[in-house]
Amino acid sequence: MSGKYKQVAYYPGCALEGTGHAYNRSTRELGKALGLEVVELKNWNCCGAMEVKNIDPKLQTYLSARNLSIADAMGFETVMAPCNGCYHNLKKAEYDLRHDAASREVTDRLSRKAGHKTYEAGKVTTIHALDWIKDAIGEDGLRARVKNSLRGLKIANYYGCMYTRPRHIFPEKDRGPGSESTSKPHFMDDLLAAAGAENVEYPLKTACCGGAHTLSDSDTSTKLVLNLLTTAEACGADVIATECPTCHTGLEMHQVRAEKVFGRKTSVKILYFTQLLGMALGLSARRVGVQENFSDSSDLLRARGLG
Amino acid sequence: MASIRTMSLDEVTARLDGMLGASDVELGADASALADQLLALSEAILEAWLTARGESPTNEAVEGFRLLALHRQGARGEPSFNACRETCRELVFHHNLVRLDPAHAEVARRLRLGVMVARHLMLFIGGKLEVAGLGEFCCAARPLRQQEATAHPTETV
C-alpha cells in the first residue's frame, strides 16, 4: 500500500443515499476491508446534478465549489466521489473556477452570502472511487488480499459517459502509462482482473445509455440500454460491472422495462465494482448490499462461491 | 436495393439486423466486404444527422477513415456528439480487426460485435433526431437552458 489516499474526504452525493445506496454501503465496506478511511463531508449539499446545471451552470459551479470548500475547511486535500455525476460536477467546477472569471465571481458572491470561505481552485483534488482503490492499494495490493477469487466470472465493464466526458475537465487522464484513458478506460478492468475476474472485450464501455432522458423519452433509453445488455451478453459476460449509481439504476430498470415493453429478456447481471471487489476480499453479499440491487444475482454468486 | 449512401435510417437498421441474423458461414464467406459495408452503413447514419442539420456530409477522411471525418463534422458546434466519438472509433477498430485477418476463426463474432456497435450509433443518432438534447448536458456538460440562464442570471439567489 502506497499510503496515498489512506484517508480521504468522502462525498457520497444524493444518489448514494437513495437508489444507489448499495454503492454507498459497498464503497464504505470495501474501504474498511482495505484499511482505508473515508470521512464524510460535513453538511454537504447536492452537486447541482443535471437539473441545476441545466438551468444555471454557474449556480451548479457554486454548489460543487461549496462541497470542495467544506473538504478544504476539514483539512483535506482530496475528496473522493464514487458517483460519476458528482465526480464530473466537482471536476467541472474546478475547471470553470480555473478558467472562467464569471464563475469565480458568482461563486465568491454566493459563498460570502452563505457565510463560508470561497473555494479557491487547486486546493482540493477530486478523485473517483476507482482512482482511490487503484492509487491507494493498486492491483498487486489487491491481489495479495483476495480471499474469494472472482476466477471464472466474465465481466463487461461499463463506465458510462460522465467518467470521461468532456475530456477537457479531466486533465490527469490520457497521460500515458499508468493514467486513465478517456477513449478506452481501464481502471475498473484492472482492479477486477486483479481480483481474478475475466474481463471481456466490451466495445460499449463508454457508450450512451440515454440516462438523462430516462423519463422524458423512455423508449430511447430502453433501446440504448437493451443494446448495452445484449452486446455484453454477445461478448460472453455474466456480469456488467458499474461504477456509477445512475448507470447502474438505468441498466437495472431498463432491463426490466425492455422485457415488459419490447419482450426482450436479458439475463446478464448488474453489480457495482465495489460489491465485486468486496466479495473477492471475503465480505458477504449482504455486507456489500447485493440484496439492495434490483438485478438478482444471488444464483450466479452462489454458484461461484461468492458472498 | 438502395445504395448505402442514399439509405434511410430504417433501411440501415434492416441491413444491420440482416447482418446480425446471418450465419457464421455467411459472415465468414466474405468478411472483408461485410466489414467495408458495416463502415459504409455507419457513415450513412452520420450522414443522416448531418443532412438533417442542412449540411453536406464531407467526403474527406480523418486518420484514413471517412467515418471519423463525418464524426468530426457532426461534432462541430455540437459537443454532445462526444457521446458517439468512441462508438465511431470502435467501429473503425472492428473494421480493421476483420480486414486484417478475414480468415480468423472468430471473424463472425467480430463482425457481429461490430454490427452491435453500429446499432448503438444508430440508436443514439436516431434518438438525437427525435430529441436533439440527447447527450447534451451529460456528455457535453452543456446546459440545455443556457439562454434562459443568461437572461436570468444568478443575482436572484
Residues 6+ apart with CB under 8 A from B74: B46, B49, B50, B53, B81
Asked if the model's pLDDT at residue A260 lies above 80, the reply is yes
Find, in chain B, the residue whose alpha carbon is nearest to that of A106.
B154
Under an 8 A CB cutoff, do A50 and B120 touch?
no
Q: What is the DSSP letter of A167?
A: G
Residues 6+ apart with CB under 8 A from B139: A161, A162, A165, A166, A208, B79, B80, B82, B83
Interface-testing mutation among B45, B86, B137, with chain A (most A C-beta atoms within 10 A): B86
The partner residue sitting opposite B113, judged by closest CB among A92, A106, A235, is A235
Under an 8 A CB cutoff, do A58 and B93 touch?
no
Under an 8 A CB cutoff, do A166 and B139 touch?
yes
Under an 8 Å CB criterion, which residues of B touch A?
Answer: 79, 82-87, 89-90, 93-94, 109, 112-113, 116-117, 119-120, 123-124, 126-127, 130-131, 133-141, 143-146, 148-149, 152-154, 157
Write out chain A residues lying below 8 Å of B24, CB-based: none
Interface-testing mutation among B85, B138, B156, with chain A (most A C-beta atoms within 10 A): B138
Under an 8 A CB cutoff, do B82 and A167 touch?
yes
| Segment holding A269, helix H or strand E | strand A269-272
Asked if the model's pLDDT at residue B140 lies above 80, the reply is no
Under an 8 A CB cutoff, do A183 and B149 touch?
no
pLDDT at residue A56, rounded to an integer? 82
Q: How many CA atoms lie within 13 A of B35 on its CB side?
A: 24
pLDDT in tens, B99-138: 999 999 999 999 999 999 999 999 999 888 887 666 665 6
Cα–Cα–Cα angle for A133, A137, A143, rounded to 5 degrees: 105
pLDDT at residue A236, rounded to an integer? 97
Q: Please answer whether residues A76 and A124 qualify as being in contact, where contact means their C-beta atoms are separated by less than 8 angstroms.
A: yes
- CATH 3.40.50.11810 range(s) for chain A read 148-303
Asked if the model's pLDDT at residue A50 lies above 90, the reply is no
CA A22 from chain centre, in angstroms, equals: 12
Write out chain B residues lying below 8 Å of A205, CB-based: 86
Q: What is the DSSP letter of B81?
A: G
Q: Average pLDDT of A180-196?
A: 97
User: pLDDT band for position B150 (50/70/90)?
Assistant: low
Compute the distance between CA of residue B67 and CA of residue B118 in angstroms, rounded to an integer: 11
Could you please state the CATH topology (level 3) that the domain comprising A7-128 is classified under: Glutathione S-transferase Yfyf (Class Pi); Chain A, domain 2 (1.20.1050)
The partner residue sitting opposite B135, judged by closest CB among A109, A113, A208, is A208
Q: Please answer whether residues A182 and A173 qualify as being in contact, where contact means their C-beta atoms are separated by less than 8 angstroms.
A: yes
pLDDT at residue B146, rounded to an integer? 55
Structure-block grid coordinates of residue A246: 445512475
Under an 8 Å CB criterion, which residues of A touch B?
Answer: 50, 53-59, 62, 88, 92, 106, 109-110, 113, 161-162, 165-167, 169, 183-184, 203-208, 210-213, 216-217, 220, 223-224, 227-228, 230-231, 234-235
The partner residue sitting opposite B131, judged by closest CB among A220, A230, A231, is A220
Structure-block grid coordinates of residue A140: 498487486
pLDDT at residue B147, rounded to an integer? 59
Q: How far is A106 from chain B (nearest CA, A)?
A: 7
Q: How many helices (H) and strands (E) does chain A have?
A: 12, 8
Asked if the model's pLDDT at residue A72 lies above 70, the reply is yes
Q: Right CATH number for A148-303 from 3.40.640.10, 3.40.140.10, 3.30.70.141, 3.40.50.11810?
A: 3.40.50.11810
Interface-testing mutation among A54, A200, A235, with chain B (most B C-beta atoms within 10 A): A54
pLDDT at residue A263, rounded to an integer? 97
pLDDT at residue B136, rounded to an integer? 62
Q: How many CA atoms lie within 13 A of B36 on its CB side?
A: 4
pLDDT at residue A216, rounded to an integer? 66
- CATH 1.20.1050.140 range(s) for chain A read 7-128
User: Is residue A44 helix, strand or coil?
Assistant: coil
> Mean pLDDT of all residues in chain A?
94
User: Is residue A111 helix, strand or coil?
Assistant: helix
User: pLDDT band for position B157 (50/70/90)?
Assistant: very low
A–B interface: beta-carbon pairs under 8 A: 129
Find, in chain B, the residue whose alpha carbon is nearest to that of A221.
B127
Asked if the model's pLDDT at residue B153 lies above 60, the reply is no
Write out chain B residues lying below 8 Å of A165, CB-based: 82-83, 138-141
Residue bearing the bigger pLDDT, B151 or B6:
B6
User: pLDDT band for position A78 (50/70/90)?
Assistant: very high
Residue with cell 448514494: A16
Under an 8 A CB cutoff, do B120 and A92 touch?
no
Name which of A107-111, A184-188, A218-222, B63-67 the model is least confident about: A218-222
pLDDT at residue B138, rounded to an integer? 62
Q: Average pLDDT of A106-119?
A: 97
Q: Please answer whether residues A211 and A221 qualify as being in contact, where contact means their C-beta atoms are separated by less than 8 angstroms.
A: yes
The partner residue sitting opposite A203, judged by closest CB among B117, B126, B138, is B117
pLDDT at residue B156, rounded to an integer? 44
Find, in chain B, the residue whose alpha carbon is nearest to that of A214.
B134
Residue bearing the bigger pLDDT, A57 or A185:
A185
